[in-house]
Every structure is written in structure tokens, then in C-alpha cells.
Amino acid sequence: MRVAARLIEGDPHRLGDYRLAGRLGAGRRGVVYEAYDSGGRRVAVKVPHGDPELWRPLAGEVAAVRAAAPSCTAKVIDADCVGARPYVVSEYVAGPSLRGAGRILAGPDLLHLAAALATALTALHEAGVVHRDLTPDNVLLGPDGPRVVGFGPLSPTETTLTWPRLAMNAPAYTAPEAFTGREPGAAADVFAWGAVVFYAATGRDAFEGTSLGTVMHRVLSVDPDLDPIPQPLRALVADSLAKDPERRPGARDLLRALVSADATVRLKAPCLAPDCLTHASPTAACLPAACLVPSGGDIPGWAAETFTAEAPLTTGTVLGGRVCLADALLAARVPLTLDFLLAAGDAMAARLRTPYDDPGLGAVAEDAYVTLDPADRPFASAMFLRLADGRGGPRGAGEAEERIAEAFGPLVVRAGDLARLADPALPYAWPRLAGWIEADRDARARTARDRLYWLGLTVLLTLALVAALVAALGTGGRPV
């Protein structure tokens, strides 16, 4: 099924190298569109609200977002903050939002979601970026794990308005300090992390109310009942929802605690890895991994002999397929580099997969094409070339093109004897149509060159004939 809504009056059809196909959503910050680049890649294009002139000073913040590690976030691919219509392009995530999925998570799924959010915030915060709008609507449950979206530079209106006014659309996920006039920073994202995890576990907001005032009061004064959230996640959520931002853990601390908890659980299972190095000596047989769980947080003896606390562990030196070793080191209290933690968080997030029926325009069109009767397929290229050029159809092949238009369903809008492409991005999104257009363009170019050649030859022959006649007339009509 297609998830994007149709473009409406006033929506652009093209921005830079991107053809817009439909609306994915709209909010206080702007509109997000489904789009395709010239290579047919499906992307999400965010067009912010506000005066474009006010966006130009924010190019640096967009650059910071692009520089952030893409761990558990939708990677920012391109951006234009200086054009007449600013936009930000990110990878497309095929999946519902956490709120839209209507799904309550428990057990490992809840832990993996919490890790995905902590991984995304860690990557952003380490790049100096504050999300500012982490809510269940900005968490997409993709087929390869959750992805955080909606981050990015402040909109122009946010640079002039107070934070409480900005929070009216998501007050239950706004940190208390924002309501008391303090500038919210990374700690506000951590507060939102706790509120989103609560929502994932319960299906309701942590600070519910029938009015903005009621929600603000609860955010400022009430601690939600966290009993539905299992330990050790419950303690982390409680810390993240602290009213005082100074008492909240950092996103990296959350990630460290989550991957350690996950590794400890998995270490209690028998070790089956053939290349496992979690044994007492290089010649010893692989011990049951349960024997390697750190006691009291100490580094296991076999690990202490290999690594020292003064040398942080990197992904390259530990992962390499040695799953049990990586888990044991995550569970132990040893210093770990940022890339190691992000890799561990990505691995946890990837275990929460959400299959979703969200094919792109190209896939829908190709599926329709392969269902055509082979006898009708030769007519499809001519028909779609006319539609791509803006010329009406179906016509010419009569019943064949009627059947083709019927097979392509909502991709072709028909009105009487005329038709048009429902999505102007289809020539970008459907490789087969792009190939037809390219071949037609080449054929037209060859035809134009051939016409020019014969025209030139005709002109030369005509000039030669005229010259011969003039010469003949100059000699009295007698041959020279």
C-alpha cells in the first residue's frame, strides 16, 4: 500500500534534483514529502515553514546534522538553506511511526527500542546537535530497526518564540526546564527519551491531561507510575524523567547502561560461537559464557590480561565476529570508544524489525507492468512517453492503452478520453520508464542529427546547382 498523500495546491513538484511524489506528513516545523532523485532513489524531503531568508544563517546547524553519525537516525543526504525554498533531504524510512503503529512493546523489543533512541541521541549530541522534538511521532519502526527522524535546525519561528509556546504541540514530551524559562539542551532530549520509552511500554503519554495547563502541571510536579516498565529499564526511565536536568544521565550513559544490560543477558546463554575467544587461555576450550559474567562489575581475568583500563576499546579491535568477547566487554566496566558503543546500539536496534508494506512508486509501476498481457507491453512505452511529456492519452492504440491504464490503476488519472500521470515523480521513480525516456531522447537526437545532415546536404547541392546555372548563364548558355 502507498502511504504518501497526494500533493495539494501550493506544493512544489520539484526541488533541486528531487521530484516530489506525495506528502508524508505536516507539522509545526514544515511539510515532509516523499521524493525521488534523478537516479530513482527514494528519499524524504522536508520543506520548513517560515521566511526563506531566515533560514540562511542556519546552514551551519544543517551541516552539523549531516556530520552526525547516522546511527539509528534517518541519514541527511542533502540540503539547501540558501535557495528560494529551503529544504533538507534524508533517507526514506519505510515504516509507521511508533504512535501510528499502535503497538505496545515489552521484553527485549522494549529494550531494543530504548537502545535505538539512546543510540540516535548519543550520535546527535556527540555532534553538537540537540533533537528538540523527540516524540512517538518522530520514531519510525523501519524494516531494519527503529529510526529517529524530525531532528534538524530550528525553524525561523523557533528563533524568536519562547519554548513553552513551541511545546504546545507536544507538551507531554517537553522537559520541565522549558516551561520555567530555562534554555533546554541535551538533557531535554533525555527527558523526552524517558517519555517516549514510557509511551512504548504503555501506549499512553507519561503526562496526560485534558489541557495544556494540566499537562504542564504534571510535567513540572508529578512523577508517572513506572511499574509497567521492567527493570533495569525502569530505573533508567526514572532517572531520565528527573525534574532537575542536572540529575538526568547523558544519552551516552543511557546507551552504555542499555548495551551492558543486553550483553549481560545474552552472556548467560551457552556460547556457541566457533571463533569465541572467551576462554582462559588461547589453548583452552571455550567455556560456557555464563562463567564470564563480570562479578561486581570487575573486568574478567582473561580480559584484564588482554586489555587495560587506560586503553579504550575500539570496534575494530574487539568486534571482528567475536560476539562473546564483545558482549563480555560491554558487560564489564571498561572504557569504550564512541564508535564501539554506537555499533553495539545499532546491533541492538536491528533486532527490532517491523515489516511494512510501503513500496515505492517504481515498485508499484513495475508490478503493474509485469501483469500486462505481453501483447500489450509494446504499447505501454508509447503511452507513458506521451504521459511523461504531458500529452494526453490513452489514444492511438485504443483498447490496448485502455487496458494498460486500467492495469496501472491509481498511477494514471483518467478523465474521459484523456489521461495523465498521477505522480510527476514517476519518471524518476520507475527505472523502466526512465529507460524509455532516455532511449526516446537518444532517438530524437539521432533523428534531429539526421535531419540536419540531410538538410545541410540538400543546401549544399542546391548551392552547387545554383552556382552551375549562374556560371552557365555567364557564358551565354554555352558550356565552358
CB neighbour class for 479 (10 Å; exposed up to 12, middle 13-18, buried from 19): exposed
CB neighbour class for 475 (10 Å; exposed up to 12, middle 13-18, buried from 19): exposed
With b for 16 or more beta-carbon neighbours within 10 A and e for fewer, the 203-214 pattern comes to: eebbbebeeeee
The answer to whether 257 and 304 are in contact (CB under 8 A) is: no
Rounded to the nearest 10 degrees, the angle between the axes of helix 251-267 and helix 186-202 is 40
Q: Nearest-CA neighbor of 397 among 407, 389, 405, 388?
A: 405
Cell of 252: 551516552
Distance CA 21, CA 41 (A): 12
* Catalytic site positions: 133
Cell of 358: 510501503
Distance CA 301, CA 294 (A): 9
Q: Which helix (H) or strand (E) holds 30?
A: strand 30-36
Distance CA 173, CA 243 (A): 13
SS3 85: coil
